[in-house]
Amino acid sequence: MSVSDKVRSPCVSICALDEDDVCVGCHRSGDEITRWTRMDNEERREVLRKVAEREKKSLIHG
C-alpha cells in the first residue's frame, strides 16, 4: 500500500484538547491522535466515523 492509499488525517492544525480530551479542531480524542500513525485504514475509518458524530454533537450543542 502506498502512502497515497492511506486514510488521511482529519487534522486541521487547530490543536487544543477540550475538557473531554477531544481536539477542538479535528474532533479526535487524545488517544486517537497519538495512535493515528500506527492505525490501519480500517481503524482510521472507524475513528473518522466517531469524528463525524462528535462534530455533529458539537454543532448541536455549540
- In the chain, where the domains are located: 10-61
Distance CA 54, CA 62 (A): 11
Beta-carbon contacts of residue 61 (< 8 Å; ≥ 6 apart): none
Question: What is the helix (H) or strand (E) element at residue 52, kind and residue range?
Answer: helix 41-61
* pTM of this prediction exceeds 0.75: yes
Predicted confidence (pLDDT) per residue in 10-46, tens digit? 999 999 999 999 999 999 999 999 999 999 999 999 9
